[in-house]
């Protein structure tokens, strides 16, 4: 219903005043709307203004903090929840994270820069003790020398697992990872004749590169051309990039463990492929 002239708040305003107030709609929306309504009532402007700019839509409500937390929870669940075709990788990710966190929480280790003595105490691949404590060949692969070391290794493991674990099979994926970690540690001990104190999952991850390469070489593998191209690109990017970066990088990089892990994973992948063929 239209407001009677006697009741309209701007009924006493002149036309010039109403036009001025209408121009202030962007600053004072309520005043501008009332002025436009009075001008329309007087017949000075049409009820529908051609080309008139509509009022901007109300801003969407800000996402509550709970929504962001739920998104982060879903992301973490997608990364760390074991499921068919992606079972071993989340377990390995969690094992590496738990081992790293335990050093700080239970051992009081400075996680930003763990000391060599602390790493030895937690089971690093230390040549002075490994002959009497052979379990260090494996335990050292779950320890890391700092947050950057941990992040780079787990990022590569995550991408590899998402792309290739389902193709290789979760049991084979896990066994090759563990075997390659030991193979990389043994190669490191053999190469560093002056002694070594090494940690990190990179030898085991390089073993997964070798397994992926074995999958690409397998003729009977159920891989499409697109999947082969994607795996080959990932393999070249990470494996070659890590090898070249390790050779040109800091002296502390254990390239022997990388090469030993890669060779172990490749041989294990080829042997497992031949075994699967023999049982067909």
* Segment 158-212, tens digit of pLDDT: 999 998 999 999 999 999 999 999 999 999 999 999 999 999 999 999 999 999 9
Q: What is the mean pLDDT of residues 150-154?
A: 95
- Which is more confidently placed, 13 or 63? 13
> What does the alpha-carbon distance between residue 20 and residue 40 come to, in Å, rounded to a whole number?
14
> What does the alpha-carbon distance between residue 231 and residue 166 come to, in Å, rounded to a whole number?
12
Write down the pLDDT at residue 245. Answer: 58
Percentage with pLDDT > 90 across the chain? 56
- In order of their start, the domains of the chain are 7-73 (no CATH), 88-278 (1.20.1540.10)
Write down the pLDDT at residue 251. Answer: 56
Q: Rg (Cα) of the chain, in Å, rounded? A: 33
Q: What is the mean pLDDT of residues 153-161?
A: 94
Q: Which of 149, 170, 198, 258 is catalytic?
A: 258
Q: What is the mean pLDDT of residues 138-163?
A: 95
202 a catalytic residue: yes
Sole residue written with tokens 């997608």: 78
Q: For the chain, what's the residue count? A: 280
H or E stretch at 126: strand 125-126
Helix 202-217 and helix 170-191: axis angle, to 10°? 120
Widest distance between CA atoms in the chain: 103
20 a catalytic residue: no
Judge whether residue 130 has pLDDT over 70: yes
> What does the alpha-carbon distance between residue 66 and residue 110 come to, in Å, rounded to a whole number?
32
Write down the pLDDT at residue 56. Answer: 53
Q: What is the pLDDT of residues 234-247, one digit of tens each?
A: 777 777 766 665 55
> What does the alpha-carbon distance between residue 208 and residue 268 come to, in Å, rounded to a whole number?
10
125: β partners: 198
Residue 47: pLDDT band with limits 50, 70, 90: low
| Least trusted range by pLDDT, from 35-44, 75-84, 138-147, 159-168 | 35-44
DSSP state of 197: E
Write down the pLDDT at residue 235. Answer: 78
> What does the alpha-carbon distance between residue 56 and residue 37 come to, in Å, rounded to a whole number?
18
> What does the alpha-carbon distance between residue 198 and residue 55 come to, in Å, rounded to a whole number?
65
Residue 8: pLDDT band with limits 50, 70, 90: low
Please state the pTM of the whole predicted model.
0.73
Instruction: Supply the mean pLDDT for the chain.
Output: 84
| Contacts for 135 with CB less than 8 Å, ≥ 6 apart | 123
Q: Which of 124, 139, 198, 202 is catalytic?
A: 202
């Amino acid at each position: 219903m239209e407001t009677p002239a006697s009741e309209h708040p701007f009924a006493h305003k002149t036309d010039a005043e109403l036009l001025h107030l209408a121009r202030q709609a962007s600053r004072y929306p309520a005043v501008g709307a009332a002025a436009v309504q009075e001008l329309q009532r007087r017949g000075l402007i049409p009820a529908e203004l051609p080309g008139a700019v509509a009022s901007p839509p109300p801003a969407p409500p800000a996402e509550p903090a709970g929504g962001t937390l739920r998104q982060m929870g879903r992301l973490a669940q997608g990364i760390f929840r074991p499921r068919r075709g992606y079972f071993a990788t989340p377990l390995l990710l969690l094992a590496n994270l738990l081992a790293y966190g335990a050093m700080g929480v239970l051992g009081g280790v400075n996680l930003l820069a763990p000391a060599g003595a602390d790493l030895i105490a937690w089971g690093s691949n230390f040549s002075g003790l490994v002959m009497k404590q052979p379990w260090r060949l494996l335990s050292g692969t779950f320890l890391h020398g700092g947050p950057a070391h941990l992040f780079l290794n787990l990022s590569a493991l995550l991408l590899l697992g998402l792309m290739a674990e389902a193709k290789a099979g979760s049991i084979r994926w896990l066994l090759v990872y563990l075997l390659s970690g030991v193979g990389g540690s043994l190669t490191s001990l053999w190469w560093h004749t002056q002694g070594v104190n090494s940690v990190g999952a990179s030898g085991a991850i390089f073993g997964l590169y070798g397994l992926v390469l074995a999958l690409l070489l397998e003729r009977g593998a159920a891989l499409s051309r697109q999947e082969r191209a994607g795996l080959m690109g990932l393999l070249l990017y990470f494996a070659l990039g890590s090898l070249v970066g390790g050779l040109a990088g800091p002296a502390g990089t254990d390239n022997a463990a990388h090469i030993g892990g890669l060779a172990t994973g490749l041989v294990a992948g080829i042997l497992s492929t031949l075994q699967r063929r023999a049982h067909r």
